[in-house]
Amino acid sequence: MFYREAGQFRTSYAQDSQIFPLRQDRLAMIALLAVAFLLIPAVASDYWLRALLIPWLIFSLVAMGQNILTGYAGQLSLGSAGFMAVGAFACYNLMLRVDGMPFLVALVLSGLCAAAVGVAFGLPSLRIRGLYLAVATLAAQFFIVWALDKFGWFKNYDPSGVITAQPMEILGYEFASPQAKYLLVLAIVAGLALLAKNMARGATGRAWMAVRDMDVAAEVMGLPLMRTKLQAFAISSFYCGVGGALFAFAYLGTVEPSAFTIDLSFRILFMIIIGGVGTILGSFLGAGFILLLPILLSVVFHAVVGQAVDASVVSAVELIVFGSLIIIFLIVEPHGLARLWQVTKERLRLWPFPH
Amino acid sequence: MFEVRISRALRTLLAIGTVAAVAAVPSLAQAQAKEQYFGIPSYRVGPFAAGGTGFFGGIIDYLQYVNMKEGGVNGVQMVWAECETEYNAARGVECYQRLLTRGDQRMHIFEPLATPIAYGVLNRVDDDKVVLTQYGYGRSDAADGRVFPWVFSTMTSYWSQASAIMNWISTKEGGVANLKGKKVAHLHLDSAFGREPLPVLNRLAKDWGFELVSIPVASPGIEQSAQWLRIRQERPDWVISWGFGAGMNSTSITSAARINFPREKMVGVWWAGSEEDVMPAGDAAKGYFAAANVPNGKQFPLVQDIEKVVYGGGKGNLSDPKRIGTIYWNRGVTAGIFWVEAVRNGQRIANKRGQTLNGDEMRAGFEALNLTPARLKELGIEGMLPSFKLSCSDHEGAGVIKMIQWDGAKWVSVTPDWVSSDRKMIREMVEESAAKYAVEQKITPKKC
Amino acid sequence: MGGFQFFLEVLIGGLLSGVMYSLVALGFVLIYKASGVFNFAQGAMVFFAAVTFVGIMELGLPFWAALLVTIGVMVLLGMATERFVLRPLVNQHEITLLMATIGLTFVIEGVAQLVWGVGVRRLDLGIKDVPLPWLADNTGIFISQLDIFAAAVAGFLVATLALLFAKTDTGRALRAVADDHAAALSIGIPLKRIWALVWAIAGIVALVAGMLWGARSGVQFALVFVALKALPVLIIGGFTSVPGVIVAGLIVGASEKLAEVYIGPSVGGGIESWFPYVLAILFLLIRPEGLFGEKIIRRV
């Protein structure tokens, strides 16, 4: 009833190639952005901003990077935490060693550093594929963390082996309060999400999807296979690197190389699988699922059970419920939460009619 | 059919979401002027849960004890809430934020027993007015209270541990002079934690003339044959085992047995010196030494009283009461003692006997920690903790350890007194490192 | 001791470590070979099997009875997995199935810690983890008795399973199912039973691996991380080859130890974390499906 497109005519090519062709979608997006930029910083508590929203946005960004590589280009990779680490440490070192380096420039440069490393470790993808490539990218993960850990120069020879991120300053304004950090991260993530969406819709995305679906045919058609694959690695690592820098600067504040564990890489992969492989929305939904759902379960259990049950039991039950929810969601919708959303929208278009 | 599945799923989700949203709003606890609230970021699942359940159980048992035995501190009941961190930085930060407030109560002491989590909240504790304690781990230079006013590395940091262990080794060798020309291997987890004591060990190696061999073990360390073959080749006189997790630590011991390296020449850091760490190694662990911040045992009057009052009253936190008196639990009890003493001191200093303390008052109370021998006797923990006091500039305090040895079934103290570190040298290093940190972070050190 | 003697010791120690890795990798290969799923939960199964075994012994049962009961539990786990995780997701994309096994991992870890607690337990197999005395006395080379026993067990398992797959009817059915679920169904192979069987066997392999690793490192949560050690073995050997698992395990174990001992000190040590993976990449560049993996034929 509400979600009808009757009466909406597109009269120009520009109109036809919008991300949101339906007016309802556009209005919903504007409303969402308004809530995100205006309402939330005004009403959300410190807890929501610092512990939930900022990490969710950061991980959505990294998941987007992973989605570009694995979802769109079909290169199964498990090195995302390693690239995050590169981004974080590159940003720290740039801000430390270059006097007067603006934060945004450092952010972009650290993304480029991560991209360079990504291309280097992406070279095996020209020969290896599938599950074998995934395990090969683990080499990137372990080697990067080992190198950052081993060579003290990266950490400025800190005796504790950690880096403490500098304050983020843009044009003299320091982003210190949770609201400021949130808005900065939101702006960066929204901008990069838009960029990713457009890349995915355009020729770049089509090239990636061709490589994913049938790379031999794509090569036969004239697609430069090596360039496309390495480009996917580069852009994906750029996103992961920027995400990693934000992880260190806007979220934790202090990181050591071994914070970027193999477990983190796996979690990022889980995020895109449960969110929906090959979608931008899926990155956000998946990050929310993997990151926020365990916290939700913990809060619910504590509220319901309180101190009546042994805390160890509660913690173990949280794990069981989380795992079961993953399986249940996959049975309901094997293609992930984004597809679930898509199906819902389809039904909404017919609502209140069944078909 | 498909649609039914989806709508059912969506409806369930909506229900869960509503419940959660309501629950996530911090519950409005009645404003109790007579309660001091603590947030406990525990880890009860995952690879380190064996120690976590002991440590956090010990804290909770002591808080419970104070409530039951004395009705709280001057009538103020100790209350707490737990949050599962799974020893994970992101979860730890979220727990920190969640535990920070409960209704209109605020948390003022945060002890995560986890280096990544401690680092994750290091930048916020100043603004949030939360005392961050790093009980025997974390940044060694946080002992300098002028640069880290809200961070307390009570009571023996990693640097002090390393120095104390070397002091003990030198006594076993018959004097520092006898160490000249000998070889000490530092077997450690290849991480910041593992490398932390290297500045101290390198300096001592230079000063005392022994050779230090650094042997890192890649995480998770459940397979160490390469490292121990290197030890076989190097033939060190002593091996300092700086490992973490029962998997790595028991593997170190069984690997030593496989190359017939005498366990009596192995000394573990406190993370490698609990019952959980050596028990899986069975007979191989006999003779293995470890440095303990707090020795084990049920001979301390307080431990016996807690067992009687708290466990006798059915309010014990450990699911297995046999763990009373083990290393992690005893340590947890002493952590609880620090907290309660801080409350006691804080109430006295701020002239707020019988009232809830705020952040600054709690900090002042913690800084005023003064465990005299008389006070130790009063508390019933003579021999369980050394006598020490904190000050504005010294947030570490003791810098001592007790050396314990595994006899096959339990830990036995082999040093009747506390083994000290080289306080002067450690303090020098701490101040140097803290000053460098202050310059880098543009912090003005406090005047003490 | 002599340079060559030491080298021999490192080499043999590495080979034997490698066999321990193969034992874990075997579980992965079985499941991948028969159902095309990369079973992320294998590490959790190793932990669960070991902790169940030790827990049941603690309850009072003797060694062999506890072993039988634990095998029964693992068979039940296999059947439950097939019924609740695999059957509803039949014919889905392999990445969906991978994610499902990840959910399974959380469930198994949670159940293990819920039922058996989080304590650390000792596992005594009756074989001491000390050097073989006659070898040590005569040649000065230290090889652990437990390692030799583990190698024998692993060899036996691999031989049995290889025979199972190659010679028996069930083995043929398993290979058919791995090739194409739908085709296998259409010719009457009972898919459900085959899957339950495979997961049960993988569970038993996990139990054996868990017992041997647990005897060395104690039965506790860190056992789930042994799965990480198996990954390079899988790449080099190929995901679908049972004999390949042993060969690859030997290669990974030996090269890892030799690298750590001889190359490690000059770069600061700890290279064991990434060396096997880099080695695997080098192997894959020559043979992209692993040494013994099935060549994937892609049609355009």
Give me the interface pTM, i.e. the ipTM: 0.86
Q: What are phi and psi of A351, to 5 degrees?
A: -55, 140
Tell me the β-bridge partners of B37: B79
Chain B residues in contact with A256 (beta carbon < 8 A): 115-116, 119, 191-192
The residue-averaged pLDDT of B261-275 equals: 92
Q: Helices (DSSP H) in chain A: which residue ranges?
A: 13-16, 23-34, 40-43, 46-47, 54-66, 80-97, 103-122, 131-150, 178-201, 203-221, 225-246, 262-275, 280-287, 293-305, 311-332, 337-350
The CATH code for residues B32-156+295-399+422-448 is 3.40.50.2300
pLDDT of residue A185: 95
Q: Helices (DSSP H) in B31-157: which residue ranges?
A: 49-70, 89-100, 115-121, 125-128
Between A161, A296, A332, which is nearest B195 by CB?
A161
A155 is in which domain, residue-wise?
Answer: 26-260
What is the torsional sign of CA B168, B174, B179, B182? negative
Distances, alpha carbon C295 to alpha carbons A269, B101, C39, C176, C283, in Å: 26, 59, 21, 16, 15
3-state DSSP call for residue B410?
coil
Provide, rounded to the nearest whole percent, the portion of chain B with pLDDT above 70: 93
pLDDT digits (tens, 9 = 90+) for B101-123: 888 889 999 999 988 888 888 88
Q: What whole-number distance in Å separates Cα of residue C110 and Cα of residue A321?
A: 9
Tell me the β-bridge partners of A169: A174
The residue-averaged pLDDT of A108-117 equals: 95
Chain C residues in contact with B192 (beta carbon < 8 A): none
Question: C153: closest CA among C75, C66, C213, C203?
Answer: C213
pLDDT of residue B31: 44
Assess if residue A314 is contained within a domain.
no
Q: What are phi and psi of A105, to 5 degrees?
A: -65, -45
pLDDT of residue B129: 92
Token reading at B427: 């303090």
3-state DSSP call for residue B139?
coil
Assess if residue A36 is contained within a domain.
yes
Q: Which helix (H) or strand (E) holds C98?
A: helix C94-116
Q: Which of A107-121, B21-35, B226-240 shows the lowest per-residue confidence on average (mean pLDDT)?
A: B21-35
- The distance of C128 to chain A (nearest Cα, Å) reads 33
Report the interhelical angle of B49-70 vs B327-349 (nearest 10°): 40
3-state DSSP call for residue B37?
strand
**Cβ–Cβ of C217/B280 closer than 8 Å?**
yes
Token reading at A236: 């994906």
Higher confidence at residue B21 or residue C272? C272
Higher confidence at residue C296 or residue B161? B161
Tell me the β-bridge partners of C294: none
Distances, alpha carbon C86 to alpha carbons A131, C44, C100, C175, in Å: 20, 17, 8, 17
Q: What whole-number distance in Å separates Cα of residue B395 and Cα of residue A89?
A: 30
Nearest-by-CA chain C residue for A217: C300
- The distance of B286 to chain C (nearest Cα, Å) reads 14
pLDDT of residue B12: 61
Q: What whole-number distance in Å separates Cα of residue C12 and Cα of residue A5?
A: 72
Token reading at B430: 């701490």
**Cβ–Cβ of C261/B45 closer than 8 Å?**
no
Between B20, B49, B90, which is nearest A55 by CB?
B90
Per-residue pLDDT for B157 more than 60?
Answer: yes
Q: What whole-number distance in Å separates Cα of residue A218 and Cα of residue B140?
A: 57
Nearest-by-CA chain C residue for B48: C221
For domain B159-292, the CATH superfamily is Response regulator (3.40.50.2300)
User: pLDDT-based confidence at A271, cuts 50/70/90?
Assistant: very high
The residue-averaged pLDDT of B138-146 equals: 89
Average pLDDT along chain A: 89
Nearest-by-CA chain C residue for B257: C130
pLDDT digits (tens, 9 = 90+) for B361-407: 999 999 999 999 999 999 999 989 999 999 999 999 888 999 999 99
Token reading at B266: 């192995």
- Cβ contact B343:B109 at 8 Å: no
Token reading at A76: 């199964």
Assess if residue A267 is contained within a domain.
no
Cα radius of gyration (chain C): 20
Report the interhelical angle of C63-81 vs C42-58 (nearest 10°): 140
3-state DSSP call for residue B330?
helix
**Cβ–Cβ of A259/B89 closer than 8 Å?**
yes
Alpha-carbon torsion angle B38, B43, B49, B53, nearest 10: 20
Q: What are phi and psi of A29, to 5 degrees?
A: -65, -45
3-state DSSP call for residue A101?
coil
Angle among Cα A141, A143, A146 to the nearest 5 degrees reads 110
Q: What are phi and psi of B324, to 5 degrees?
A: -65, 130
pLDDT of residue C192: 83
Q: Which helix (H) or strand (E) holds B389?
A: strand B388-389
pLDDT of residue B21: 52
**Cβ–Cβ of B45/A315 closer than 8 Å?**
yes
Q: What whole-number distance in Å separates Cα of residue C250 and Cα of residue A157?
A: 38
Instruction: Kindly tell me the burial class for residue B350, based on how many C-beta atoms sit within 10 Å of its own C-beta (0-12, 13-18, 19 or more).
Output: middle
Assess if residue A214 is contained within a domain.
yes
Per-residue pLDDT for B298 more than 60?
Answer: yes
pLDDT of residue A204: 93
- The distance of B139 to chain A (nearest Cα, Å) reads 6
- The residue to which tokens 């959980």 are assigned: B276
pLDDT of residue B2: 46
pLDDT digits (tens, 9 = 90+) for A15-70: 888 888 888 888 999 999 999 999 999 998 888 898 899 999 999 999 999 999 99
- Cβ contact B142:B152 at 8 Å: yes
Between A252, A259, A340, which is nearest B6 by CB?
A340
- The residue to which tokens 């090889």 are assigned: C143
Q: What whole-number distance in Å separates Cα of residue A83 and Cα of residue A80?
A: 5
Q: Which helix (H) or strand (E) holds B3?
A: helix B2-24
C134 Cβ contact partners less than 8 Å away, ≥ 6 residues apart:
none
* Tens of each residue's pLDDT in chain C, 300 residues: 578 888 888 898 889 889 889 989 999 998 888 888 889 899 999 999 999 999 999 888 888 999 999 999 999 998 899 889 988 888 788 888 888 998 999 999 999 999 998 888 888 888 877 788 777 777 777 788 888 888 888 888 888 888 888 888 888 888 888 777 778 889 988 888 888 888 888 999 999 999 998 888 888 888 888 888 888 898 888 888 888 888 999 999 999 989 988 888 888 777 888 898 888 888 888 887 778 877 777 777
Token reading at A182: 């949130």
Numbered ranges of CATH 3.40.50.2300 in chain B: 32-156+295-399+422-448, 159-292
Number of domains in chain A: 1
Count of residues in chain B? 448
End-to-end CA distance of chain A: 12
Higher confidence at residue B269 or residue B6? B269
pLDDT of residue B370: 92
Residue A84: asked if its preceding bond is cis (omega within 30°), the reply is no
Report the interhelical angle of C145-167 vs C3-35 (nearest 10°): 30
Tell me the β-bridge partners of B6: none
pLDDT digits (tens, 9 = 90+) for A165-186: 888 888 888 888 899 999 999 9
Residue B220: asked if its preceding bond is cis (omega within 30°), the reply is yes
Quick check: A15 contacting B, CB < 8 Å? Answer: no
Chain A residues in contact with B24 (beta carbon < 8 A): 296, 299
Q: What whole-number distance in Å separates Cα of residue B175 and Cα of residue B188?
A: 25
Question: C151: closest CA among C237, C233, C209?
Answer: C209
